[in-house]
Amino acid sequence: MTALVTGGASGIGYAIVEELAGFGARIHVCDISEAKLNQSLSEWEKKGFQVSGSVCDVASRPEREELMQTVSSQFDGKLNILVSNVGVIRSKPTTEYTEDDFAFHISSNVEAAYHFSQVSHPLLKASGYGSIIFVSSIAGVISFDAGSIYGLTKGALIQLAKNLACEWAKDGIRANAVA
């Protein structure tokens, strides 16, 4: 199995990489922090895991496209698992959010996941067994007293997973959201 885990050098992404690598998957990780990425890659190498990595700001379309070219080359045009893990939050009352806050959340949490789905589709389909996992949040299902934009973006991921699960089933690609 092959996998791409976005934001995989720390937190939930790191734990997902550890689990997949423990099952023997070959994994490519991207992270915005070169220092965290290098530290994690060193730890995984010591464990004998097959993990490579790239620095990538998922809010950048050109960087996402470059990352997918790297993944395609590395995995011979096939990908079994896309874990869209990156998520950002600026928690504040709705009336205090700015245009920049909105753009920050949408580009990192929704646009990146959507675009990664699009550009990974041919690789997932070519694998004969593709799976997309969106790391959403309970904030996408229930309400909180702050972080409305974050909740909006995480709810969007849940809906995206539902749509892709129906649309891409014919291509042998599953899509799920985990909160």
Write out the catalytic residue numbers.
150
- Non-local (6+) Cβ contacts of 113 within 8 A are 84, 86, 134, 157, 160
3-state secondary structure the chain: CEEEEECCCCHHHHHHHHHHHHCCCEEEEEECCHHHHHHHHHHHHHCCCCEEEEECCCCCHHHHHHHHHHHHHHCCCCCCEEEECCCCCCCCCHHHCCHHHHHHHHHHHHHHHHHHHHHHHHHHHHHCCEEEEEECCHHHCCCCCCCHHHHHHHHHHHHHHHHHHHHCHHHCEEEEEEC
Reading phi first (left if > 0) and then psi (alpha if -120 to 50, else beta), residue 41 is in alpha
